[in-house]
Amino acid sequence: MSTQEIDLELENKVIVKAYRNVLKSIRRTLTREDKKKIREAFGISLEAHRNMRRKSGEPYIIHPLAVAQICAEEIGLGVTSVICAFLHDTVEDTDITLDLLRLKFGDKVALIIDGLTKISGVLDQPDKSVQAENFKKMLLTLSDDVRVILIKLADRLHNMRTLDSMSPKSQLKIASETAYVYAPLAHRLGLYAIKSELEDLSTKYLQAESYNYVKTKLNETKTQRNKYIRNFIEPLIQDLEDQGLKYEVKGRPKSIHSILQKMKTQHVPFEEVYDLFAIRIIIDTPIDTEKSDCWKVYSIVTDHYTPNPDRLRDWVSTPKANGYESLHTTVMGPKGRWVEVQIRTKRMDEIAEKGFAAHWKYKDNGVQQDGGLEGWLSRVREILESPDANAMDFLDDFKLALYTDEIFVFTPKGDLRKLPAGSSVLDFAFDIHSDLGINCIGAKLNSKLVPINHQLNNGDQVEILSSSKQKPNEDWFNFVVTAKAKSKIREYFKQIRLKASQLGKEILERKFKHAKLTFNSDNLQIIAKHYKLKAVSDLYYQLAKEEIDRTKMDIAEIILAEKAKPADPTAPVALKPKASAKANLPIDAVILSENEANMPYGFAKCCNPIPGDEIFGFVTIGEGVKIHRTSCPNALALMSNYGYRIIKAKWANAENVPKKAFVSSIKVSGIDSVGIVSIITDTISKQLQVNMKSISITSNEGAFEGNIVLEVHDTQQLENIMRAIKNASDLISVNRVDLG
């Protein structure tokens, strides 16, 4: 710390105060032994990190202190976790060894610290297979002690809260990783408060403009909102007191992330997101009357306000799988506005906010394993056992598994198999054996014949039918959902391609020998380019498949001719200077961050960014920079896996960009009625005068669904179009398409 003067005395005061706060937040009464251990762990950490500072300039010890604070106060963890939180970075970043910690604090603490050390940096590996391996390890430690993951979440939460001092590049990487892995993890563990804070914090960095917009709007409307909540509560108070209920009312705005989500999916401006906040009535009541008391409150609320019967959610009678209990209803409040009311007891509220840790607190012996968590862990283990080593697919499948439910089906012999909901006959076949999957032609389902893509239901008995003549084709990817089936099918195609390529290579080698030319990569590139192929491996493959006629292939002539040609400015070969390579792109619509400013760029097909979208650049191999939307589902995976290839990008000022049409597609769906297609097309082309590049609409049993590809200038115009279509008829819903 060079120029800045540091007030050490003040810093020490802050540290001591933070330490005392941690002690105060542990809800159990501490024994003398507890206090001694905690003090010792803190001392070791303080000494080990003594000369270290965080990027923000603070003494490093502030971080372990904050992580311990989150563990105790926000997750409700106890002494062991606080000790581990203090020490969580020591083994990795300082001279402290695991053996020393084992000696001082025992096996349990050592095991948890070891898990935490292994997790750290899991996603930082540039090599994705190393990354996948580490990630698997991290998840396996879950089964040893779930505290590893809870402390890791606390660690991540504090890092996200203090992300401002990091570089923009690290911010993007850390934020996307958080959105991709940690927020779903928190969700799955039932840590709702932490989940929504993680989501909000990642949104703050990934979609900075939208985030700030909603934040400002929320601040502007705060007084108004509070007043509304007071008005809403007023008539209820007397009744609640007459019933002798001890209650507390909270009026909480929804998270910024969920408001943005609503604005996007419903295409409404901030002002029209009707349920900006939920009112929560928390009652303090003994456990044996809690259900009936919740319903008492419900009837008081609905005595005063009319409920929307479609929006009653009763998780009091049947709690969610992750332990969530609450009664939700939406009622018509003052001024004709819908208000969501959540009714729960103090116990339920604590579980909803703190998840499983709070659960244990309410269990008699304190550490009882919970069915929901166990089920989830076993599903994670299943994915881990799938042999596929591709980190990207693995992460995707893993994320899927965090959210999906499962079904139980039977083999002909009556053995039970567990599969994710949505699994097909093909998934089942691969689950039994990969050969059975490869050769599967259908199944006998409860003695009825069904095709391979038939979706299974709970309780089905499945007998797979196979034939040695059957071979997988590309369509099969659309029929399967399990990681195992996907990786087996991929493996099959890889093998086929590998064999074919080998054959193609041999053919080409002979040709080179014949023509007395050198078989090297320069010459091979030239030939690949001649056939307009991106990679030499494609050339091998097409030769082997006879998609290129080898008898007509005169390599000497090709090489000669290609060498004689002037350089082709649009060829996607290597990174070329700006001017020539951008020939086909809207001129300078996007500005890349300084170091990469001269790279050629193009727009990613998966998300079709248009001006107004928040964007970033991804450095590809051989194709320059691809511009993605930060909200592109692929992008999140790219960012968290290849953080080092992410660059900042922004749209140029509108005045500098010639009015240029960008391609964007929207999805329409709804109830089929006479003239629906012409309503849509009239709105777009006549009323709004927008060019449609293509439109396809199919209808099926009274419902229709369609895709429309449009030429637009920016998000503003696109939003207008979507709103106009929606307003044209009640029977249509419309969405922007994210994936091609």
Q: How far is CA 669 from CA 371, 525, 643, 705, in A?
A: 39, 46, 37, 4
| CB 176 to Mn ion: min, Å | 19
Nearest approach in angstroms of CB 150 to Mn ion is: 14
The window from 7-15, 89-97, 635-643, 683-691 that contacts Mn ion (CB under 5 A) reads: 89-97
Closer Cβ to Mn ion, 155 or 382, answer by number? 155
Q: Which residue has the tokens 């190393």?
A: 130
Q: Dump the DSSP string for 117-143.
A: HHHTTGGG-SSHHHHHHHHHHHHHHHH
Least distance between Mn ion and beta carbon 156 (Å): 8
Query: Least distance (Å) from Mn ion to the CB of residue 155?
Result: 4
Q: Which two tokens stand for residue 136?
A: 């698997």
Q: In the complex with Mn ion, which residue's Cβ is closer, 113 or 443?
A: 113
Cβ nearer to Mn ion, comparing 90 with 542: 90
Output the smallest distance, CB 59 to Mn ion, in A.
14
For 5, other C-beta atoms within 10 Å of its C-beta total: 5
First-last CA distance in the chain: 50
Return the closest-CA partner of residue 714 out of 631, 624, 652: 652
DSSP conformation class of 30: P
Contact between 623 and 601 under an 8 Å Cβ cutoff? The reply is: no
Q: Is 412 helix (H, G, I), strand (E, B) or coil?
A: coil
Cα dihedral across residues 379, 380, 386, 391: positive or negative: positive
The residue to which tokens 């009239």 are assigned: 682
Rounded Cα distance between 195 and 159, Å, is 14
Whole-number Å distance between alpha carbons of 79 and 27 = 10
Q: Residue 309 and residue 465: Cα distance in Å, rounded?
A: 47
Cβ proximity to Mn ion: between 42 and 616 the closer is 42
> Least CB distance from residue 85 to Mn ion, whole Å?
9
Q: Which stretch binds Mn ion (CB under 5 A): 86-94, 173-181, 362-370, 433-441?
A: 86-94
Report the amino acid identity of residue 267: H
Beta carbon nearer to Mn ion, 50 or 693: 50
Q: Tokens 């006549």 sit at which residue?
A: 686
Shortest approach of Mn ion to residue 63 CB, angstroms? 6
Using CB under 5 A, which of the segments 84-92, 301-309, 478-486, 704-712 binds Mn ion?
84-92
Nearest to 508 by CA among 494, 491, 525: 525
Site for Mn ion in 124-183 (CB under 5 A): 155
Question: Minimum CB separation from Mn ion for residue 116, in Å?
Answer: 8
Nearest Cα to Cα of residue 20 among 2, 1, 35, 5 = 35
Residue 326 beta carbon to Mn ion: minimum distance, rounded to whole angstroms: 33
Q: What is the smallest separation between the CB atom of 80 and Mn ion, expressed in angstroms?
A: 17
Cβ proximity to Mn ion, 89 vs 350, nearer residue: 89
83/438 with CB nearer Mn ion:
83
Q: How many CB atoms lie within 10 A of CB 543?
A: 24
**Stretch of 88-96, 177-185, 448-456, 704-712 contacting Mn ion, by CB under 5 A:** 88-96
User: Residues, the chain, total?
Assistant: 740
E strand or H helix at 619: strand 615-619
Of 97, 74, 77, 90, residue with least CA distance to 147: 77
Nearest approach, Cβ of 89 to Mn ion (angstroms)?
A: 5
Distances (CA, A) of 321 to 318, 342, 345, 380: 9, 18, 18, 16
Using Cβ positions, the residue closest to Mn ion within the complex turns out to be 155
**b/e map 496-514, b = 16+ CB within 10 Å:** ebeebbeebbeebeebbee
| Per annotation, catalytic residue among 40, 58, 93, 353 | 93
Catalytic annotation present for 522? no
Whichever of 91 and 528 has its CB closer to Mn ion, that residue is: 91
Nearer to Mn ion, 83 or 409 (CB): 83
What residue ranges in 261-370 does DSSP mark as E strands?
277-284, 313-314, 327-332, 338-345
Nearer CB in complex with Mn ion: 155/431: 155
**Dihedral, 202, 205, 206, 212 alpha carbons, nearest 10:** 100
CA–CA separation, 665 vs 710, rounded Å? 6
* Contact yes or no for 138/122 (Cβ under 8 A): yes
Q: Which class for 21: exposed (0-12), middle (13-18), buried (19 or more C-beta within 10 A)?
A: middle
Residue tagged active-site, from 92, 99, 405, 554? 92
Q: Which is nearer to Mn ion, 34 or 155 (CB)?
A: 155
Closest CB 97 distance from Mn ion, rounded Å: 18
Convert residues 620-649 into a mask of x (bound to Mn ion by CB under 5 A) and - (unbound): ------------------------------
**What does the longest C-alpha to C-alpha distance in the chain come to?**
100
Q: Segment near Mn ion (CB under 5 A), from 82-90, 91-99, 297-305, 522-530? A: 82-90
- Rounded distance, CA 157 to CA 160, Å? 5
Cα–Cα distance measured from residue 247 to residue 133, given in angstroms and rounded to the nearest whole number = 49
Strands 462-466 and 625-629: unpaired
603 strand-pairing partners:
627
Q: Give the whole-angstrom CA distance, residue 344 versus residue 298.
A: 10
Closest to Mn ion by CB, 155 or 350 = 155
Report the chain's C-alpha Rg in angstroms: 30
Choose the binding region for Mn ion from 30-38, 83-91, 485-493, 604-612 (rule: CB under 5 A): 83-91
Nearer Cβ to Mn ion (34/89) = 89
Active site residue 364: no
Q: How far is the CB of 640 from Mn ion (least distance, A)?
A: 18
**How big is the site for Mn ion, counted in residues (CB under 5 A)?**
2
Among 89, 197, 613, 719, binds Mn ion (CB under 5 A): 89
Question: Does residue number 45 form part of the binding site for Mn ion (CB under 5 A)?
Answer: no
Question: What is the rounded distance in angstroms from the CA atom of residue 209 to the CA atom of residue 269?
Answer: 15
* Catalytic annotation, residues: 92-93
Q: Can you give the binding site for Mn ion, defined by CB under 5 A?
A: 89, 155
